Amino acid sequence: MPPPPPPPPPPPQEPVVFDASVLQHQANLPSQFIWPEHEKPCLEPPELAIPPIDFRKLHLWRSVGGLEACSATEAHECMNKFFGKQLAEKPAQRKIGEQYGYASSFTGRFSSKLPWKETLSFRYCADNQSSNIVQEYFLNVMGEEFEEFGKVYQEYCEAMNTLSLGIMELLGVFVDEKWHSVTPDPEAFVVNIGDTFMALSNGIFKSCLHRAVVNSATVRKSLAFFLCPKMDKVVKPPNTLVDYKNPRVYPDFTWSALSEFTQKHYRADMKTLDVFTTWLQQRNNWEGTKNTSPC
């Protein structure tokens, strides 16, 4: 007697649509947004003391002055207007694999441990040929209604670009095996070293896993500025950081390769750079085998 046929596969789960204006009024939180107990924030995490640095005392007055000229208050006001809109009214909906535009949580990419967040990402470039790239993005992609937004964020990015030249190597935070809280300071920025800088320093500086902890009473807003190399720029540490006592930790890679990995193949976490290294080596080996002709 032949074995019984296998049971039919379960029906595909409908992807959740993240619309905070709707979900916040539901009695129960969708299961996709519920995280394991061991990953939930504790009620009273230890506080991490991060020293503030006043760059006016480090002869960087122009950088600080430029930042003050670009009002962070205006940037937050634009943020409130955009994210206060209904989901259908938010333009530039980002597709899977894209880097820029509006995205609601990780819906479409993942089905569990979804963050309760919305993001609006856009590219800034300091090259003269791309001098108004932010302003043009808001006008051409998002529409005339957002023209003023573009002006505000163009100025903000220009100020942050100038400031980043002075602070990118001065402050890094790494906390091992324990979550700490950082008290918000509306007059300061927290500088976090990421995976790219970790690779540039040959592992000397450590990338810091971070998260925004939210509550049910107050909306949390984050205004972030990511400093990234050009897409085709090879990321590798300077020769002075590599010797027989300190061999290379990570292989050469381009920003476009790392971006592709995190956008299409892997959900970023503390192991991103190690898993990316393995993925990159396997891909390079496969391409080398593919291009090898038989004798």
220 in catalytic set? yes
Question: Measured between alpha carbons, how far is 60 from 54 in angstroms, rounded to an integer?
Answer: 9
The H or E element spanning position 165 is helix 147-167
Helix (H, G, I), strand (E, B) or coil at 254: strand
Answer whether 141's CB lies under 8 Å from 150's CB. no
In the chain, at which residue ranges do the beta strands (DSSP E only) sit? 101-104, 118-121, 234-235, 253-254
Hey, what are 72's tokens? 């962070």
Spatial contact of 53 and 171, defined as CB atoms under 8 Å apart: yes
Report the C-alpha gap between 160 and 227 in whole angstroms. 9
Of the listed 123, 220, 248, 267, which one is catalytic?
220
C-alpha 129 chain-centroid distance = 25
Catalytic residues: 220
